[in-house]
Structure 1
Amino acid sequence: MDLLNLFWIFLIVSSLAPMVRQQIIASTRLNLLRRLEEKRGSRVIGLIHRQESMSLLGFPIGRYIDIDDSEQVLRAIKLTDPKVPIDIILHTPGGLVLAAEQIANALSRHPAPVTVFVPHYAMSGGTLIALAANQIVMDENAVLGPVDPQLGQYPAASILKVLEQKDINRVDDQTLILADVARKAMVQVKETVRRIACCHYSQEVAERLADELPSGRWTHDYPITVEEARELGLNISTDMPQEVYQLMNLYPQTMQRRPSVEYVPMPYPWRPSSEKGEQR
């Protein structure tokens, strides 16, 4: 076998290896989802967005909630018997308001209990989806986020602030148009939050959520902790199943030359002992 044939064999194996690895990971994910479904007696849906290497060239692609996601989630909900609970695992920076609202509306209409698991974060549209659940299960360090609408690179609330602080005769037409759209967006998102929250929360809590989350009180990437979410009136639990963490390990980030985080992957019931064998 000459050197050229060895080169072509190496090239073919290198090209197929990522696809084989992806298939193995996908199969492992499905087995773990099935195991969690059998444990909880529910339909488990994963809505997990991470930056992964896709295609043979391995370019990293960032993910967010889009129309394809809403179509898949709506189909999964449609295939679920009305008496079967739904568990949805959320890990997302947010995405399209239309897609997130479609998912939230479908979950709020499901007759059986809906539980949302947030192992790390569910921002913006992810928080909107979480509002449709009977219960939100979060890791102690996980966070939600505000759902204030964004117009391009500007928050709608900040655009409206310009009209309050500046003489309208000195505001250009484009800003006035943006302000009109921003006002409509604020009203629409507040009404959406109120309608979705009313399905599982009291009218008082729904009004508070509608006033706080879309108001622009925080920056769009502000982390709402477990404690703050409970203060807002959300039904939060921190009893996270171990299978959820295991599932997250099957959505690896883009491979780098050197990992930025390293640790021994095992639980420590106690701190490692010193050289003298003393436990601390």
Structure 2
Amino acid sequence: MNDLFFLFLILMSLTPALRQQILEARRAQIMRQLEQKRGSRVISLIHRQETVSLLGIGIHRYISIEDAEEVLRAIRLTDPACPIDMIVHTPGGLVLAAEQIAWALAQHPAKVTVFVPHYAMSGGTLLALAADEIVMDPFAVLGPVDPQIGQYAAASILAAVRRKGSAQVSDETLILADVAEKALGQVEHSVRQLLERKMPAAQAARVARLLTSGVWTHDHPLRVEDVRALGLPVSTDMPPEIYSLMALYPQPTRMRPSVEYVPLPYRSDRPAGKGQA
């Protein structure tokens, strides 16, 4: 009886690792299929919570220095004449890491395409700005790239000091305002330099100011038509392989799923569409 119990514990401990290996093998297969189809190097930067332990604990993920190291390594391993296709799904992350990746993409001699199947906010948008072409799902979004100082937007810190006056705020707030002002200038400068590769300098300066100055909240969604209005090259021709790849990055297991549907493609003859009986 004890032997069976210990065998059960061993199987339970090995199952998550085995499941993860299967997922990784399927991801690699789809990425290789996409590379062969497009004649490119495919790099994914996908931040989703995954159940990676026996207790089912999800890990919050974002663009990190480790991500930058891996992406830069992948770019170095890519022939200068080989196009790069980067799949980005992220809430953002460290400015330093995002800028390192963005400049490595921008300086790759062959064409660079960034695919956004769902969302690429903040630092993820910075990567999209570095691409020669952005491919978004029709309902995918990008976002502003205004810097954040701790839990506050840099632009909001400066606005608070202006409204109250420097004599009415603490020394700590004044220090935060100084850091915020520098951060805004640095990020705007980087964005403007990236954009000047694909549009006139005056337009690049205007768009960089709009994206970095806190005109919108940090989570404001920029849809396909909004991105096009900024003058950026955007397509909605998303390869089906990318949707298949995203399905292999599961969210943490819950007792009851929040969204349920029959996982089959429905044709126009079923079910009835809008306005049909």
TM range, smaller chain: over 0.9
The equivalent of 1:107 in structure 2 is: 105
| Native 8 Å contact 2:112 2:133 kept in 1 | yes
Greater shift after overlay, 242-251 or 10-19? 10-19
Q: Which residue of 2 aligns with 1:34?
A: 32
**Structure 1 residues 14-37: Cα deviation after superposition (integer angstroms, max 9, x where no partner):** 111111111011001001100000
Query: 2 CA distance for matches of 1:163 and 1:87?
Result: 43
- Which digits, 9 at most, give the CA deviation of each residue in 1:78-127, with x for residues without a partner? 00000000000000000000000000010000000000000000000000
How far apart are the structure 2 equivalents of 1:210 and 1:57? 44
Query: Matched residues in 1 for 2:220 and 2:97: separation?
Result: 22
Q: Look up the SS of the partner of 2:130 in the other structure.
A: coil
- Paired residues in the alignment total 274
Helix, strand or coil at the partner of 1:194: helix
TM-score scaled by length of structure 1: 0.95
Matches within 5 A, 1:167-246: 167-246=165-244
TM-score, normalization by structure 2: 0.96
Q: Do the aligned partners of 1:92 and 1:123 also contact (CA within 8 Å) in 2?
A: yes
- Displacement over 6 Å in runs of 4+: none
Quick one: distance in 1 between partners of 2:21 and 2:249?
Answer: 12
How many angstroms apart in 2 are the aligned matches of 1:237 and 1:261?
A: 28
2:79 aligned with 1:81: yes
For 1:41-80, list aligned pairs within 5 A.
41-80=39-78
Instruction: State the distance in 2 between where 1:77 and 1:200 align.
Output: 21
Amino acid corresponding to residue 227 of structure 1 in structure 2: E
Is contact 1:133-1:200 (8 Å) kept? no
Contact residue 84 and residue 112 of structure 1 kept, 8 A? yes
Instruction: Check whether the contact 1:148–1:214 (CA below 8 A) recurs between aligned residues.
Output: yes
Instruction: Pick which of 108-117 and 159-168 moved more.
Output: 159-168
Is the contact between residue 130 and residue 136 of structure 1 (CA under 8 Å) also seen in structure 2?
yes
Structure 2 vs 1, CA of residues 176 and 273 (structure 1 numbering), >3 Å: closer, same or farther? closer
Q: Matched residues in 2 for 1:201 and 1:46: separation?
A: 27
> Does structure 1 retain, via aligned residues, the 8 Å contact 2:12–2:54?
no
Q: Identity of aligned pairs, percent?
A: 62
Greater shift, 202-211 or 93-102, is seen at 202-211
Structure 2 gap ranges (5+)? none
The residue identity in structure 2 corresponding to 1:172 is S
| Preserved CA contact (<8 Å) 1:208 1:232 | no
Match of 1:258 in 2: 256
CA contact (8 A) 2:146 2:187 kept: yes
For 2:89 and 2:203, locate their aligned partners in 1 and report how far apart those are by CA, in whole Å.
Answer: 25
For the Cα contact (< 8 Å) 1:127–1:146, is it kept in 2?
yes
Find the aligned partners of 1:249 and 1:192 in 2 and give their Cα distance: 34
Distance 1:101 1:158 in 2: 23
Contact 1:117–1:136, Cα closer than 8 Å, also in 2: yes
For residue 55 of structure 1, report the CA deviation from its aligned partner: 3.1
Match of 1:9 among 7, 10, 13: 7
